[in-house]
Structure 1
Amino acid sequence: MTDGHQQPDQPGQGGVNQPRPRRRWALWAALAVVLVVLTCGVPAVLLVGVVSDAAGRPAAPRSDDPAAAAARRLGERMAAQLDRQASALLTGDRAGFLAIAEPTARAALTRRYAALRTLRVTVWRPESDGVPTPVDGQPGEWRLPVAVEYCFVVPGCTPSTVLIGTRWRAAGEQPRLVAVEESRSTPAGARPWEVSDLAVAVGKRAVVATTPALRAKLPGLLTQAEAAAKVADLYAVGGAPPDRYLVFYAGRAEWQRWYGGGRPKWTAGYAVGVGGGRHDVVLNAQSLVPGGVDDLLRHELTHAASLPDRGYSDQANWWLVEGLAEYAGADGQPVGRYEGLAEVRKLVRGGWNGRLDGLAPADGAADDRVGGSYGVGYLAVRHLVDRYGEQRLLDFFKAVVHERRSADEASEQVFGERWSSLHDDCLSYVRAVAG
């Protein structure tokens, strides 16, 4: 499930009548199904409909077959090697981190080690309860799926999880790591620290990372992210705000690769669930214009603060999820200064059925359709806040998005009003503002 925002238009030069650049963003919500596709292109682990342990990892098959028992023992030795590597990573021992690997794997592992250390990794727990399987056409090589729990900066965080494939060569009592394959988990895809060299700036509430080529952007981005975090913290739903907001600033190539790429063409940024109640944020360096970063960060960090761990899957709630983020992005500015009013006006006058639950734009939607959709969501949320206050709006958000109650039930519970009546009131407000 995707939803998103378009890239800002280029601003005009001079003249008070020039329109300000518009901005749109995308949220890629986390899904319950996690599929790891290894480099051979064959689905290796599908965590649905299989026997699993309490953490959701595939459980080892039970068998008295000697070959299966030998494979389990080999898997245990691989797990012991991964534990040694994890200890080396956390203590800053690069030589120890590389020691379990074959020479051909060390260049990629060196890069991964450097990226993780730069991000100040504090937790790294690889676990696998599965049994390694032979690699076709590679005698003596084995593949083992591994779930890694990890934290950055904060030692006591609720860890995120990444599912990766590892390949090994059986070598006596100490199997050797041949390759660590990048995660292709749906929807998160490959994390930046898996595939890129990184430069990082760490603040009190935010961590900002990019490639070394864009390192000069980090001080300014961190200042903006710290300011946006203070706003986003106000819209935490279902618990405390994130301990840190993690923001990745992507160049052209990284935008196409990090977290799987493939976002709608009008996307300038997105938030993606990575487990542990966390959502990483990615900004498109090629799309941003001066003056458009602050509200973009407020918007995306609000997604990270407000969304449940599993994200949301009902497109009927798109208006509420994006409307809240737009409301936070506006940061209290008067409604008349909202940049998308012209697009709202065009949408209201044609091309929309007048239902909030049908507001989400298609991936290939025209820019004005996208802008109008976000604007209507913002105005609907703004009307509910003006009428009932921010806390009751957040209570409604929690009931609908976190608890997955119907809008009818949530409205009766939170507002004491029928949703059909409130829905019509929101539309009347949108039409009145749009003019």
Structure 2
Amino acid sequence: MGMPTAVPVPMAAVSSPWGPPGPPVVAPARRRRRWALWTVLALVLLLVACGLPGVLLLRGAAGRPAAGRADDPATLAARRLGQRMSDQLDRQATALLGGDRAGFLAVAEPAARPTLTRRYAALRALRVTVWRPAADGLPSAVDGRPGEWRLSVRIGYCFVVPACTPSRVELGTQWRLVGEEPRLVAVEESRSESAGARPWEVSDLAVAVGRRAVVATTPAQRGRLPWLLARAEAAAPVADRYAVTGTPPDRYLVFYAGRTEWERWYGGGRPKWTAGYAVGVGGGHHDVVLNALSVSHGGVDDLLRHELTHVASLPGGGYSDPSDWWLVEGLAEYAGADGKPVDRYEGLAEVRDVVRGGWNGRLGSLVPADDAADGRVGGSYGIGYLAVRHLVDRYGEQRVLDFFRAVVHERRSLRDAADDVFGESWSTLHDDCVAYVRAVAG
């Protein structure tokens, strides 16, 4: 599928929730710099002599004191400064939720206000309902910038729904003291997060809100929002059926990315054949991103059903075993097909090419390489679809969802899950699925 100006992308090649580019989900431990006690005390004395609180400790010296021991003076000063920064962030959160732009900007120095103004507008357009900042550690000195400090902040946030389990993002903030008041100098992008920078961090956004979906894009593409929202609203009830835990998402959040945004939002760097993807953002939530250069009017419905099904079916932390790729993508392709007869599945030609082109007959070996040809990608997705379709035809949707939950959510082996859910050996079922794929491919 693809617009006339874009390289065609197979309809099946739409997402990759396993193995997103960037660092692993578990963030590396932060470095801790240990200062000798005499150095710390010298810094405190120097700061006091200059009329400034002694807060030039790096986070490594800001841990909890040993039982029965009080904080040293520098750590106490850092805690006090950190609390004042947290108070400023709380004031900003109250202003954001109350629609008070002036109050949101009031905690910041003038140089930071253009970026914060854009972020405020994007968050309000997304109908932010929860914004809970919390300091992660104590302030630390900014190298080479005397009098400036950095504070890492974790934020829980919700859009549209007030009572959602918040998504999470960790941001670096930079501060300068003006008298005794800390003033926000800059807010860094969440580049260290596995999900990368959220669209509302880095872009102006136009947003449309429906009953089950929220769609957003840049102002330049605002005119496509009514069409996109209508398609997302139509796809949502289909995806709801594949909520493996039994509870559909409260809202589906879809971002429509132009060329620049595709390379920037959530870290960019997706395989060249990707037309869309779902990315975990914490709290059990996944955001969906569509590549505007690869989305056509004729293909958007299948694409949205596919991606929204990932949101409904995947565990909050995604999945990590590439041997399960066929099952994850096969279920999404099954939902994308939305009950069409097998002979109307758009990827059958690519399936035939892969089957006849030396495929080894193992479902666990289907993950396409980042630089795979479009036909290879489409055939891999199609084989996953046919395998899931065969299991559904044989056992019904609910038992397949139970199987999916056991394998992807509970991380049980295919063998154990097949025994418990289907009462069959996985080796037999695997061979049956492969035989079905080969029969359909002809």
Paired letter, 2:224:
K
Contact persistence 2:9–2:294 (CA under 8 A): no
Classify the secondary structure of the residue corresponding to 1:235.
coil
Higher alpha-carbon deviation: 68-77 or 154-163: 68-77
Over aligned residue pairs, what C-alpha RMSD do you find? 2.0
Q: Deviations over 1:258-314 (max 9, x none)?
A: 001000001111000001111000001111123010000000000000000010000
Give yes or no for contact 2:10–2:375 (8 Å, CA) kept in 1: no
Which of 253, 267, 273 does residue 266 from structure 1 map onto?
Answer: 273
Q: Is the 8 A contact 1:8 1:24 kept in 2?
A: no
1:209-267 Cα offsets, whole Å, 9 max, x none, are 00100000000100000000010000001241100000000111111100010000011
Change (3 A) 1:212 1:329: same
The partner residue of 1:33 within 16, 26, 30 is 26
Of 92, 106, 114, 1:99 maps to: 106
2:206 is the alignment partner of 1:199 = yes
Measure, in 1, the Cα distance between the counterparts of 2:291 and 2:217: 11
Counterparts of 1:67 and 1:20, CA distance in 2: 58
Residue 343 of structure 1 and its aligned partner are, at CA, apart by: 1.0
Counterpart residue identity of residue 62, structure 1: R
Give the CA deviation at 1:8.
Answer: 4.0
- Residue aligning to 1:217: 224
Aligned counterparts of 1:226 and 1:259: Cα–Cα separation in 2: 23
3-state SS, counterpart of residue 390 of structure 2: helix
Contact 1:205-1:244 within 8 A present in 2 as well: yes
Structure 1 counterpart of 2:206, which letter? Answer: A
Number of the residue aligned with 1:353: 360
Residue 402 of structure 2 aligns to a residue whose secondary structure is helix
Distance in 2 (CA, whole Å) between partners of 1:199 and 1:32 is: 30
Amino acid at match of 1:61: G
Deviation at 1:349, TM superposition (A): 1.6
Q: CA deviation at 1:186?
A: 3.4
- For residue 26 of structure 1, what is the amino acid of its counterpart? S
Q: Describe the SS at the equivalent of 2:238.
A: helix
1:395 and 2:402 are equivalent in the alignment: yes
Q: How does 1:72-83 map to 2 (within 5 A)?
A: 72-83=79-90
* Pick aligned residue for 1:144 from 151, 163, 181: 151
Letter in structure 2 aligned against 1:153: V
TM-score by length of 1: 0.89
**Using the alignment, how far apart are the partners of 1:8 and 1:215 within structure 2?**
20
Q: State the match for 1:135 in structure 2.
A: 142
After TM superposition, give the deviation of residue 24 of structure 1 in Å: 1.9
Structure 1 equivalent of residue 63 of structure 2 = 61
TM superposition shift of 1:364:
1.0
Asked whether the 8 Å contact 1:23–1:292 carries over to 2, the reply is no
Does residue 312 of structure 1 match 2:319? yes
- Partner secondary structure for residue 180 of structure 2: coil
Aligned partner of residue 286 in structure 1, secondary structure: helix
Question: Relative to 1, partners in 2 of residues 1:102 and 1:35: Cα closer, same or farther, differing over 3 Å?
Answer: farther
Larger radius of gyration: 2
Contact map agreement 2:3 2:295 (CA 8 A) in 1: no
Q: What amino acid maps onto 2:209 in structure 1?
A: V
List aligned pairs for 1:214-253, cutoff 5 A.
214-253=221-260
Is 1:334 aligned with 2:341?
A: yes
**How many Å apart are 1:174 and its aligned residue?**
1.6
Report what 2:115 is aligned to: 108
**Take 1:272 and 1:145, find their aligned partners in 2: how far apart are those partners?**
23
Could you report, residue by residue, the CA deviation over 1:16-57 in whole angstroms, capped at 9, with x for unpaired residues?
xxx997452122347641369xxxxxx679xxxxxxxxxxxx
Residue 44 of structure 2 aligns with which residue? none
Q: Work out the number of aligned pairs and report it.
A: 404
- Secondary structure class of the residue paired with 2:369: coil
Q: Which runs of 5+ in 1 are unaligned?
A: 1-6, 12-18, 37-42, 46-57
1:385 pairs, out of 392, 397, 418, with: 392
Q: 2:131 aligns with which of 102, 124, 149?
A: 124
Distance 1:9 1:155 in 2: 38
State which of 343, 350, 353 in structure 2 corresponds to 1:343: 350
Please give the residue correspondences for 1:411-422 in structure 2 after superposition, counting only pairs within 5 Å: 411-422=418-429
1:88: which partner in 2? 95
Structure 1 pair 20/109, CA: closer, same or farther in 2 (3 Å)?
A: closer
String of CA shifts for 1:330-366, please: whole Å, max 9, x gaps. Answer: 0000000111111111111223221111111111111
- Partner in structure 1 of residue 49 of structure 2: none
Deviation at 1:185, TM superposition (A): 3.7
Residue 414 of structure 2: aligned partner: 407
Contact 1:191/1:259 (8 A) holds in 2: yes
